[in-house]
């Protein structure tokens, strides 16, 4: 998905080359992932000549929000604060990140 969001609509061969170059993944695996993403509604394709041109259907931000909602539901009993606390307890957070979090929390108060 990141490759599609970064480069936009592209033939399957270009996507395979972009992903293979970064991860050393087999062509057939990448094409299978594209079919699965299409079946799930994240991408779609059109045929141009003999090539399948894929494009993202779901925006990156929407996909991220959906993934976080799913994560919170599955592992944190639908309580986002548990996710945030877990992240803060198990990751070094620098002063700038903490200040930004603090501002977000304070701005959201009634």
The verdict on 51 and 64 lying in the same domain is no
Dihedral, CA atoms, 60, 75, 91, 5, nearest 10 degrees?
Answer: -10
The verdict on 78 and 34 lying in the same domain is no
Indicate the number of domains in the chain.
Answer: 2
Q: What does the buried/exposed string (b/e) look like for 86-107 if buried means 16 or more CB atoms within 10 Å of the residue's CB? A: eeeeeeeeeeeeeeeeeeeeee
Beta strands in 1-110 (DSSP E): 10-11, 43-48, 51-56
Which of 56, 75, 96 is the last residue before a domain boundary? Answer: 56
The verdict on 43 and 65 lying in the same domain is no
**Cα distance between residue 62 and residue 28, in whole Å:** 27
The domain that holds 51 is classified in CATH as 1.10.10.10
Give residue 92's pLDDT. Answer: 82
**Cα distance between residue 69 and residue 33, in whole Å:** 22
The confidence band for 69, taking pLDDT boundaries of 50, 70 and 90, is: very high
The verdict on 49 and 70 lying in the same domain is no
Give residue 110's pLDDT. Answer: 57
Percent of the residues in the chain that have a pLDDT greater than 70, as a whole number: 95
Nearest to 82 by CA among 92, 72, 74: 72
Give residue 109's pLDDT. Answer: 66
The confidence band for 62, taking pLDDT boundaries of 50, 70 and 90, is: very high
pLDDT digits (tens, 9 = 90+) for 76-88: 999 999 998 998 8
Range of the domain at 20: 2-56
Give residue 38's pLDDT. Answer: 96
Which of 37, 56, 75 is the last residue before a domain boundary? Answer: 56
CB-count exposure of residue 33 (10 Å: 0-12, 13-18, 19+): middle
The verdict on 30 and 75 lying in the same domain is no
């Amino acid at each position: 998905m990141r490759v599609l969001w970064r480069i936009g609509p592209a033939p399957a061969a270009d996507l395979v080359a972009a992903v293979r170059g970064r991860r050393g993944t087999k062509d057939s695996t990448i094409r299978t992932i594209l079919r699965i993403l299409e079946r799930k509604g994240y991408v779609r394709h059109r045929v141009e000549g003999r090539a399948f041109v894929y494009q993202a259907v779901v925006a990156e931000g929407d996909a991220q929000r959906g993934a976080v909602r799913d994560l919170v539901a599955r592992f944190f009993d639908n309580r986002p604060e548990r996710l945030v606390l877990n992240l803060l307890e198990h990751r070094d957070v620098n002063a700038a990140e903490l200040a930004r979090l603090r501002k977000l929390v304070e701005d959201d108060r009634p």
